[in-house]
Structure 1
Amino acid sequence: MDFEATRRRAAAFVVAIAAWFFVRFRRRCEDSRSVTYGPMVQRDMERLANLRVIYESDDTRCVDLLRMKKAPFFQLCDLFRTRALLRDSINSTIEEQVAMFLHVVGHNQRFMVVSMSFRRSIETISRYFQEVLYAIGELRSEMIVAPATSDCIGAIDGTHVPARVPAKMQPAFIGRKHTECSSAVDFDLGFTYVLAGREGSAHDALILADALERDDGLRVPPGKFYLVDAGYAVRPGFLPPYRATRYHLREFGSNRPRDQKELFNLRHSSLRVTVERAFGALKNRFKILYNRPFHPYKTQVKLVLACCILHN
């Protein structure tokens, strides 16, 4: 009899201890939820408020934030959604994914800074950044197309873009830590061909030869030609100015051309300056092209192409 009573008292004691631990564990869980989910709700509210500022702002404010007006921004997002290049996730819409990407390339911001603005983790921003970069690259064939309107279909030149070069590639970039972006531009300031990734010390003629030899390289339609500067050779499809003759607009000033060669160079210069204007507009819009970005070199090259596509 005493043995059974002892067993009952021991069982009651164990149940009491288990109940005490259960109550204590439950209180800790409730406390942890109040600590964890409170800031999460606040963070979501702040993120939605920041996105509302972008979506409901006027075009001037939207250009300051995203480097493009509202209508093209939402058209771009709808294009990604229609082509299934991007997908809305449970926690992030396509508009937010594209907005984060534009903040990075438009203002050359690091993921850590963007994470504070959008209340997202660095890993999330990095993942969506790569997805949007890939989606933009898929639009290359329809956004960057060769014109075929007049005989003179544009101008060709190159510009230097700062780059962070890995150690194994630095010998080719000695003296100039830039990547060369050689592009063809029409007279509406649109890019019709882009070749990025060559070392900044490469000669323009060498880069042009590389562009012509590629399977998906530069093609000049029969009977058409591009304007090029004196660094290129005279060849079918490419028209440089007369050498050893006044060329740049500032060299003429108020003086009229003295002969047909100077008149030709004056007309040539006034048209070829289009490509320089296009590069200026591109770099002013996307500040990541003004500074060395914080990305691997292959990603840097893709970013140059992506910015040209967004520009168009």
Structure 2
Amino acid sequence: MGTVSLNMSMHTREPIRDSKLSGPEWIREILYGHSDRVYEAFRMEMHVFLNLCDLMKARGWLVDSRYIRVDEQVGIFLSMISHKNSNRDLCERFQHSGQTISKYFAKVLQAVLNLAREIIVPPSFDVVPEEILINPKYNPYFKDYIGAIDGTHIHASVPVSKQIPFRGRKGITTQNVMCVCSFDMKFTFVYAGWEGSVNDCRVISAALETHRLQFPRPPPGKYYVVDSGYAAAPGFLTPFKGERVSMNAVNKWLIARQSPPGCPPPPGEITPFLHDKGFVLSKLASAQSHQQLDGILKQALSEIEDFGSSHSHHSGNSNEDGCYRILPRIQCGDVAEQEEEDEEAEDLSKP
């Protein structure tokens, strides 16, 4: 008799999500509570969250269902991506079944993809950004600048059998995501999905070669600014790693261009570093090939040396600060190894 009653109790249907604080009530408590709670829960300010919900409804991408409103649907999505919550965690938080959580997460994800197609678009390359025009440190030296490119590693959950390509030098599974950002801090292109062990050069090469991605190529005379992880090419300005020019030498070169021939500048006259750097970058960005890049750099260094010798003749000072040194350029395959060496050197230099 006791065994029969036990079996009956095990098969009795009863609600498992019976918390008094349901999903809609929790959303309401967050929105009408302290503003910091909204940021902690969804990683965005309250007005951003509300505007996002209104935009999704206005576009027709999300609608209120019989039991779940749009704000709760968006809350489910943001809770998962901002805190890496599992399906079971969200079941307990919003008091819904796992099927319901998965259903509305997929709906909001599709709505976000639709939104991305509207806001992640290349800017007009014919218009100089206002942030450059109003700042004399950047204008006119960066007037042909159209954006910056860099890669970032985002954590990825990968099956054990496929984890090796996704493990980088940090030891965790990630995907290498390439992003293009304009001067006003807006994303203009995003390329995701590559394994974490892939070099940045490989990612940008695939973006350029895959026509369906419609990568916004720089028009003639325009350029992107990229870091040393990418290869120098026409339209992509990289720092010349391993090639060093002293600050005083660059200042002398810039002053020499503005002084009459044979007339040394006043003692102590030094132009601002950002002003100098902007000129040098814009000069290098005008190159259309690797040979032109090398030629422009060598010409600049030659002018620095010539002016340093002339200035030392007039002032009687030595030309030590006009010296320069050119080292072999690091290729794409050596970037990761060089970065590790730089990090080790920084760690050893710290007290």
Question: Which category of TM-score, normalised to the shorter sequence, fits these structures?
Answer: 0.5 to 0.7
Match of 1:219 in 2: 216
For the residues of structure 1 that align with 2:223 and 2:118, how far apart are their CA atoms? 22
TM value normalised by structure 1: 0.63
C-alpha distance after superposition, 1:24-53 (max 9, x if no partner): xxxxxxxx9xx958x87x646543431211
Would you say the 8 A contact 1:173–1:200 is kept in 2?
yes
Shift of 1:120: 1.5
For the residues of structure 1 that align with 2:274 and 2:201, how far apart are their CA atoms? 22
Match of 2:297 in 1: none
Compared CA separation, residues 244 and 133, structure 1 to 2 (3 A): same
1:68 matched to 2:64: no
Shift of 1:94: 0.9
For the residues of structure 1 that align with 2:109 and 2:277, how far apart are their CA atoms? 39
Compared CA separation, residues 266 and 194, structure 1 to 2 (3 A): farther
Compared CA separation, residues 52 and 171, structure 1 to 2 (3 A): closer
Would you say the 8 A contact 1:156–1:185 is kept in 2?
yes
Match of 1:165 in 2: 158
Match of 1:192 in 2: 188
Compared CA separation, residues 266 and 62, structure 1 to 2 (3 A): farther
Q: Which amino acid counterpart does residue 127 of structure 1 have in structure 2?
A: K
Would you say the 8 A contact 2:218–2:224 is kept in 1?
no
Would you say the 8 A contact 2:73–2:108 is kept in 1?
yes
Question: What is the aligned counterpart of 1:125 among 84, 101, 120?
Answer: 101
Q: Which amino acid counterpart does residue 80 of structure 1 have in structure 2?
A: M
Q: Which amino acid counterpart does residue 192 of structure 1 have in structure 2?
A: T
For the residues of structure 2 that align with 1:212 and 1:57, how far apart are their CA atoms? 48
Compared CA separation, residues 233 and 266, structure 1 to 2 (3 A): farther
User: Residues 235-246 of structure 1: matches in 2 within 5 Å?
Assistant: 235-245=233-243
Would you say the 8 A contact 2:167–2:196 is kept in 1?
no
For the residues of structure 2 that align with 1:245 and 1:264, how far apart are their CA atoms? 18
1:56 matched to 2:52: no
For the residues of structure 1 that align with 2:185 and 2:48, how far apart are their CA atoms? 17
Match of 1:202 in 2: 198
Q: Where do 5+ consecutive residues of structure 2 fail to align? A: 1-11, 129-143, 254-272, 282-351
Q: CA RMSD in A?
A: 3.1
For the residues of structure 2 that align with 1:89 and 1:74, how far apart are their CA atoms? 18
Q: Which has the higher contact order (CA 8 A, sep 6+)?
A: 1
The range that moved more, 214-223 or 77-86, is 214-223
Compared CA separation, residues 154 and 111, structure 1 to 2 (3 A): same
Q: What number of residue pairs does the alignment pair up?
A: 227
Would you say the 8 A contact 2:154–2:175 is kept in 1?
yes
C-alpha distance after superposition, 1:184-213 (max 9, x if no partner): 112333221111111122121111111112
1:152 matched to 2:139: no
For the residues of structure 1 that align with 2:45 and 2:167, how far apart are their CA atoms? 40
Q: Where do 5+ consecutive residues of structure 1 fail to align? A: 1-31, 248-254, 272-312
Question: What is the aligned counterpart of 1:109 among 80, 85, 90?
Answer: 85
What is the aligned-residue identity percentage? 36
Whose helix fraction is larger, Structure 1's or Structure 2's?
1
